[in-house]
Amino acid sequence: MTLLAQYYVPGLHVEDHAIDVPLDWTGKQPGEAFDGESLRLFYRVVTSPEHVHDDLPLLIYLQGGPGGESPRPWGPTSDGWMEEALKHFRIVLPDQRGTGRSNHVDGIVMRRIGDPQAQAAYLKHFLADSIVKDFEHLRRTVFCGRQWVTLGQSYGGFLTLTYLSFFPEGVIASFTGGGIPHVPANATEVYQHTFPRMVKKTTQFYERYPQDVERAAAVADILANNEVILPGGDQLTVERFQMLGSDFGMKPSFERVHWILDSAFLDGDGSASKDSPLSEEFLSRVEVATSSRPLYWPLQEFIYCDGEMDEPIRWAAQRVRDTKPEFAPDARPLMFTGEAMFPWMFDKEKALRPFKPAMDILMEDTSWGRIYDEDQLARNEVPLQAGVYFDDLYVDSGMQLDTLSRVGNSHYLTTNEFEHDGLHGAVMFKRLYNEALNRGDLESLF
């Protein structure tokens, strides 16, 4: 363990640390010495100032994504779950391999590797099987094998089931928000559920802001008939414009997209106009809203790859989209797309082009690391408390409940009060925590 820094931000004591983990976990066990190529795993330990010297139980936060770094808190209320968690836990915030201050992966790294086969092999080391082994190595070495509580948001729920599949002995209890995957995993099945929900979400958006039906259509027509370049140099296509719907699973996303469209037209009073140039303000805001972390899109579909597969992924979202003519760029009203990646992104977007050779290989790959053990999950004894959002755009609630019905000692709280990001509010984690506390699931913590 290396202590890099310790300091205070308002209401928090923070320690920055890093350790080495193997790039390739094949033939290696968490907690044991290893040789070969390594990665640097960065993590923070966050505590309320009044608890700095107290022996609090540990909670590790499993960040959403894929390809997401842990929160950078500016205070106890900067992320909703944290305020409650700080009352009871010392919080461990790891940057998953490839993200944040852990060894980072982006286009520069892909170009440095160069060979497409080597690029593809490298990217396969940044999925759940390796991420969870990193965390278990951290627990066994730095924290001397002390059990901890896990809290998983979104993709962090996927990581939770991987953790409970292979290292349940390390976990006292688990919490998840909007993140129970369907097991067995199937990317095509996921998108078959996602696209109909996007039709419903887009319809709800237009019902709330009917003036945006004409605005979105006018923007799409301009993009179809003109080459429009974003400030960063990428072309803004209709397909990229449709990706504004990726935000529709969060609140207040309808309002965010509405106000982006409000700034679209340079001439006149902002009403829809096919003859007006698109404003620089609009282009800048669209670029920010449709850009993402370097690993987020490249890994998006591979999080559903589990062991030896009968068929390769082969661009699951695009295959499903091709069966949905209502999502065509020239269809009206224009439909927005959700959290899905498409082949054109790796041709059109400068940040993603370096990943294209590896993506072409990985899309045909059928041999992946194991991420779930269904038998182990069925006999799971670690208390699992899941928050399931009934209207979740990204992780289908019915599929979540189906999985939970086959996971031992699992419990759920279902609500339509929140969207996918409910855990980031001040209410959800406190409810989940109290459910587990009142059931006696946390008795060993105190």
- The DSSP line for 323-378 is T-GGGSTT-SSPPPP-S---TTHHHH-TTTGGGHHHHHHHTT--B------HHHHH
The encoded tokens of residue 226 equal: 């003109």
Task: Please check whether residues 33 and 178 belong to one and the same domain.
Answer: yes
Indicate whether 35 and 142 sit together in one domain: yes
Question: Are residues 404 and 257 both part of a single domain?
Answer: no
Residue whose token pair is 């984690």: 429
Domain's final residue, options 362, 396, 430: 362
Last residue of one domain, picked from the residues 362, 386, 410: 362
Q: Is residue 114 part of a domain?
A: no
Are 395 and 304 part of one and the same domain?
no
**pLDDT at res. 1:** 60
On whether both 238 and 293 belong to a single domain, the answer is yes
Same domain, 228 and 253: yes
pTM of the model: 0.97
Same domain, 181 and 217: no
CA distances for 193 relative to 190, 209, 265, angstroms: 5, 25, 34
Q: What is the pLDDT of residue 123?
A: 98
Q: What is the mean pLDDT of residues 374-379?
A: 98
Pair 202, 309 in one domain: yes
Q: How far is CA 62 from the centre of its chain?
A: 10
Closest CA to 356 of 124, 65, 116: 116
**The pair of three-digit structure tokens given for residue 132, joined into one six-digit string:** 């969870």
Helix 211-225 to helix 253-262 angle, to the nearest 10 degrees?
60
- Domain membership of residue 169 as a residue range: 2-105+127-185+371-445
Query: pLDDT of 41-58, one tens digit each?
Result: 999 999 999 999 999 999
CA distances from 26 to 34, 105, 117, 417 (A): 11, 20, 18, 43
Token pair listed for 143: 């924290």
Residues 233 and 331 in one domain: yes
pLDDT digits (tens, 9 = 90+) for 193-228: 999 999 999 999 999 999 999 999 999 999 999 999
Q: Which two tokens stand for residue 370?
A: 């194991």
446 confidence band (pLDDT: 50, 70, 90): confident
Number of domains in the chain: 2
Helix (H, G, I), strand (E, B) or coil at 125: helix
Q: Do residues 198 and 151 share a domain?
A: no
CATH code: domain of residue 379: 3.40.50.1820
400 and 255 co-located in one domain:
no
CB 235 within 8 A of CB 348: yes
CA 387 to chain centre: 16
Domain C-terminal end among 344, 362, 380? 362
Same domain, 165 and 298: no
Cα(329)–Cα(239) distance, integer angstroms? 6
